[in-house]
């Protein structure tokens, strides 16, 4: 059973302007008033309550709105350590994935939406829209492919282009 809003407010204080949680109770060697949680390798903050670990951004949502988020919590500025409530939004996984600027480990181009297609010996640009992959074409340079991807992203995912160019 996940922690309730009531229980959360019994053990932690949340500052919506800093995004930081502090302990209201003595916890092992953690004094009252000390910053709660530890940094996860993925950049997010984790907090243990009653033997269960939670992402701090999800706890922030529960603390402010009194209910667990329905979907994923997206960090608008893409900084997983920034848990200010104004930086968090409850969105579907699809929307959350649109707010990324880094490529996956398997991406050989280093650019979102662009990968090497050895069959044609060219760079391929593609984008996902409503769960479907759309092929945007094959290009001699990865920069050309990326420019086409950015145009498609502007059209299909307005508001999520930010630092791609």
* Mean pLDDT along residues 89-110: 64
pLDDT of residue 96: 58
The verdict on domain 101-156 having CATH code 2.30.30 is no
pLDDT in tens, 2-45: 999 999 999 999 999 999 999 999 887 889 999 999 999 888 99
Q: What does residue 79 show for φ and ψ, rounded to 5 degrees?
A: -95, 105
Domain ranges of the chain: 5-94, 101-156
Mean pLDDT of the chain: 85
pLDDT digit string, tens, across residues 111-124? 778 888 888 899 88
DSSP class of 33: T
Buried b (16+ CB within 10 A) or exposed e, 37-54: beeeeeebbebebeeeeb
pLDDT at 83 over 50: yes
In this predicted structure, what is the pLDDT of residue 160?
59
**Alpha-carbon distance 56 to 38, whole Å?**
10
pLDDT level of residue 98 (50, 70, 90 thresholds): low
User: Above 80 in pLDDT, residue 95?
Assistant: no
pTM score: 0.65
Q: Tell me: domain 5-94, CATH 3.90.75.20, correct?
A: yes
**Amino acid 102: pLDDT:** 47
| pLDDT at 105 > cutoff 60 | no
Q: For residue 138, what pLDDT is reported?
A: 93
């Amino acid at each position: 059973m996940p922690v309730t809003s009531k229980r959360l407010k019994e053990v932690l204080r949340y500052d919506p302007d800093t995004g930081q949680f502090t302990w209201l109770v003595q916890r092992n060697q953690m004094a009252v008033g000390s910053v709660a949680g530890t940094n996860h390798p993925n950049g997010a903050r984790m907090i243990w309550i009653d033997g269960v670990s939670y992402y701090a951004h999800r706890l922030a949502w529960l603390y402010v709105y009194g209910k667990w988020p329905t979907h994923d919590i997206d960090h608008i500025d893409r900084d997983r350590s920034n848990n200010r409530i104004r930086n968090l939004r409850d969105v579907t996984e699809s929307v959350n994935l649109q707010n990324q600027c880094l490529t996956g480990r398997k991406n050989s181009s280093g650019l979102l939406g662009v990968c090497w297609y050895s069959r044609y010996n060219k760079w391929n640009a593609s984008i996902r829209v409503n769960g479907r992959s759309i092929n945007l074409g094959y290009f001699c340079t990865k920069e050309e492919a990326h420019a086409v991807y950015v145009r498609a992203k502007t059209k299909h995912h307005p508001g999520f282009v930010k630092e791609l160019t």
